[in-house]
Amino acid sequence: MERSKMAEAESLETAAEHERILREIESTDTACIGPTLRSVYDGEEHGRFMEKLETRIRNHDREIEKMCNFHYQGFVDSITELLKVRGEAQKLKAQQQRNLDNIVLQQPRIGSKRKSKKDAYTIFDAEMESTSPKSEQDSGILDVEDEEDDEEVPGAQDLVDFSPVYRCLHIYSVLGARETFENYYRKQRRKQARLVLQPPSNMHETLDGYRKYFNQIVGFFVVEDHILHTTQGLVNRAYIDELWEMALSKTIAALRTHSSYCSDPNLVLDLKNLIVLFADTLQVYGFPVNQLFDMLLEIRDQYSETLLKKWAGIFRNILDSDNYSPIPVTSEEMYKKVVGQFPFQDTELEKQPFPKKFPFSEFVPKVYNQIKEFIYACLKFSEDLHLSSTEVDDMIRKSTNLLLTRTLSNCLQNVIKRKNIGLTELVQIIINTTHLEKSCKYLEEFITNITNVLPETVHTTKLYGTTTFKDARHAAEEEIYTNLNQKIDQFLQLADYDWMTGDLHNKASDYLVDLIAFLRSTFAVFTHLPGKVAQTACMSACKHLATSLMQLLLEAEVRQLTLGALQQFNLDVSECEQFARSGPVPGFQEDTLQLAFIDLRQLLDLFIQWDWSTYLADYGQPNCKYLRVNPVTALTLLEKMKDTSRKNNVFAQFRKNERDKQKLIDTVARQLRGLISSHHS
């Protein structure tokens, strides 16, 4: 039993030695295997060792056969692919195109991250795929993922199967034809790039058209960027930069063309936001995008023009729908609502009990608020353009000046020049523009608060609102003067004097009484006008009336007239003088308004009083009684009376001999001609 244990121990020791020798044979270089084999032959039980060696060899043969069988199919596949390279290349092209389409559809997700110093933002997210209506404030275009959301965004490799490219590259490389595949790949991708860069003809009609166009381009270059970083030379930076330069040129040209068709400022703004996202996304991948931001400045000018057109319609609607009457308020709540919309303070008005009226009509707060809305709209475009506060301030001020001096000014002028515009409307326009002019300083403050650029900063553009409203007010004032004169002319057309009458009615003509009543009621609504405007309008009306009456008296069609007709005419002039003395508009000094009728008064006094001796004796003296009577005018009127004297109509009241009367008229006429002659010489 003891011998049995010893034999078992020797057997285990021998087996261990054989195992050691086998491992040494497997791991030792063939040049150094001699000593190992010698130890086998020198030892005992070499027959058993040979059995173990045979067993180990069979095991290795089985492993080798197993491995060969495993790789045989791959070898066959590789040979087959080599025989079908051309066919595989065509399949690769088709597969790439499908991958590109997939990229276009899946770009809410294709590893497009806009990296800042703090965090990363998803650029083309799910909002851009949405077709639900969005408000102006929530268009979805500017939506980015929450900065605190650490959810991993799928990259290009997660959405696109790049294995066909890698497989073909490997096969060509094994065959020693890598350069052939590189050239083929780049050539095909250039062709595909040109297709991607071709915009649809109707791209400008909807934002979706622009979005798809941008997504195609982004998808193309994201794929190329991934290939650049994963294939070690299939494409290089120079090749991608060349492609990008071509893409940038074609993209800018397409955007210039299609954006020029756009007349909707909201679409232009959305397009700008898309371009910013497009540029920022590609900038993350190392592509230079300065030209895109330069082009955005061009689109900014177009955006400003579309805004001006839009606001021209807004202003027209406001002005057309206004009632041109002071805003009535019946409660404190209504009062505060108006002053909350428009900067207005009047302590006297505040003290008045309700109901009461603001001096301006509805279009004042409406226009003021629309100017502010325009400024907000201008500001929206400047966002994300990497502009300084000064540049933003300058852009807003220049656009606002165009709104005031061109758009609003034209709208106001068109209202003022309407054929059917009334005096009441013109008066209200003057009042309204006066208050809007005063509000310009608040618009300055409004812009300053938005841009944080003080108005006194060097090169800061000033608002021209004051000029706009002054010009509109002056145009309205001129239109009031013209309108008043036209009304006066309409009344004068009703004048029907009997120039041959010998009767005196002892009252003013009906047409003139109506005219004076109209003037009184008209000037009564001038109470809210600036004092000089009301005074100028009143003086202008009186001068026009006096001039028109003088023309009536002297017109060539009136060949004859009687003293009775002159006396009736004198009653009408006296009615005008009474109106002037009554102070229809406050602010005139003494008899200033009466001076409008002084020429008529002195001429009529001269003829009715037949005071030729005084006129002829004092003519030319600075203080003469009839200083305003021109000898030509006097002669013209005298000739009309001379003709009638032969019919004994004019001088009957003087009870003089007809011959003496004729001589007297002839004498006066001769002396007047002498004055005229000496004056002209």
What pLDDT digit, counting tens, does each position of 264-292 carry? 899 999 999 999 999 999 999 899 999 99
pTM, rounded to two decimals: 0.68
Residues of the chain short of pLDDT 50, as ranges, are 99-100, 102-107, 109-149, 644-645, 647-648, 650-651, 653-654
From the list 218, 215, 241, the residue with the least C-alpha distance to 228 is 241
pLDDT score, position 343: 94
pLDDT score, position 142: 31
Phi, psi of 262 (to 5 degrees): -85, 125
| pLDDT tens string 248-262 | 999 999 999 888 888
Q: What does the alpha-carbon distance between residue 28 and residue 17 come to, in Å, rounded to a whole number?
A: 16
pLDDT score, position 88: 53
Sign of CA dihedral 373, 376, 381, 382: positive
pLDDT score, position 303: 92
Q: What does the alpha-carbon distance between residue 511 and residue 198 come to, in Å, rounded to a whole number?
A: 77
pLDDT score, position 44: 63
Q: What does the alpha-carbon distance between residue 616 and residue 670 come to, in Å, rounded to a whole number?
A: 11
Q: What does the alpha-carbon distance between residue 371 and residue 378 come to, in Å, rounded to a whole number?
A: 11
pLDDT score, position 338: 95
Q: How many CB atoms lie within 10 A of CB 219?
A: 26
pLDDT score, position 140: 32
pLDDT score, position 122: 29
328-329 and 120-122 as β-strands: parallel, antiparallel, unpaired?
Answer: unpaired
pLDDT score, position 59: 81
From the list 248, 199, 203, the residue with the least C-alpha distance to 221 is 248
Report helix, strand and coil shares of the chain as percent, to nearest 5. Answer: 70, 0, 25
The torsion angle over the Cα atoms of residues 189, 192, 197 and 201, rounded to 10 degrees, is 180
Q: What does the alpha-carbon distance between residue 542 and residue 534 come to, in Å, rounded to a whole number?
A: 12
- Going by the DSSP 8-state scheme, the letter that residue 408 receives in this structure is I
